[in-house]
Amino acid sequence: MTRDDDAPTGEHTESTHFGYQNVPTDEKARRVGQVFSSVARRYDVMNDLMSAGLHRLWKRQAVNRLNLRPGMRVLDLAGGTGDLTALMRPKVAPDGAVILSDINEAMLREGRDRLIDEGVTGGVDYVLADAERLPFPDASFDRVVIGFGLRNVTHKEQALAAMRRVLRPGGCAVVLEFSQLYLKPLQPLYDLYSFRALPLMGRLVANDADSYRYLAESIRMHPDQETLMAMMTEAGFEDCDYLNLSGGVVAIHRGYVY
């Protein structure tokens, strides 16, 4: 986070990044909300197109690293259209529960409708929630997972601290997120795909090139693997680690609470 040195004397406006733009901090959440309200109805289709279906394998890997057991209570944070919830619910059944939460009402509605249509009903609750200010008591979950949502949070350190707060002793958090490619010879091709192909697909499929241009930029602005692991440690998680997938295009970070 930075401060705007061009503000009038005596007035300092906190700012942060929205993709490659620098915007007032209190403006980012509104802009991110507009992006996801715009893409909500075509979000799942675009995920399949953008990743050639790989996002489904990445999500299964993330769920596997949670080591879920029957009876657990799990928070799917920024869970959007419910992919992770659908994978986790059978693993905690019959007595466990998954809370699907998102700050964006349109995305949460899509997730609820989709899961109901797929017959996923019992053992799932839906909560409109800000990742930085979770409306849950301390130590109320066995597991917390956030998939492709942390990079859109304004204050990531606050979201990580909130995740740590709501976990019970013995719990763990998993962060599935786009990260930094470590196969550097592929970087030019990856950049071409991100900044040319993604906006084009967004325009043709979702009628929204700008939102997908932002999503590509937000990936580049997200902390790299080591930095995010250090942020989790700073937030109070222990034994933190990460697993790179697809050459570092995606990474799964994990931290424990003891």
CB environment 188-200: b (16+ within 10 A), e (fewer): eebeeebeeebbe
Residues of the chain with pLDDT under 50: 1-12
Measure the CA–CA gap between 21 and 15, rounded to whole angstroms.
10
Q: What is the pLDDT of residue 13?
A: 56
Q: What is the pLDDT of residue 20?
A: 72
- Residue 199's nearest CA partner among 17, 35, 80 is 35
pTM value is 0.87
Helix count (H) and strand count (E) of the chain? 10, 10
CA angle 80, 216, 16 (to 5 degrees): 85
Domain extents in the chain: 2-28, 38-182+214-256
Q: What is the pLDDT of residue 8?
A: 43
Q: Which amino acid is at 174?
A: V
Measure the CA–CA gap between 194 and 106, rounded to whole angstroms.
25
CATH of 38-182+214-256, one of 1.20.1070.10, 3.40.50.150, 3.90.1510.10, 3.60.20.30: 3.40.50.150
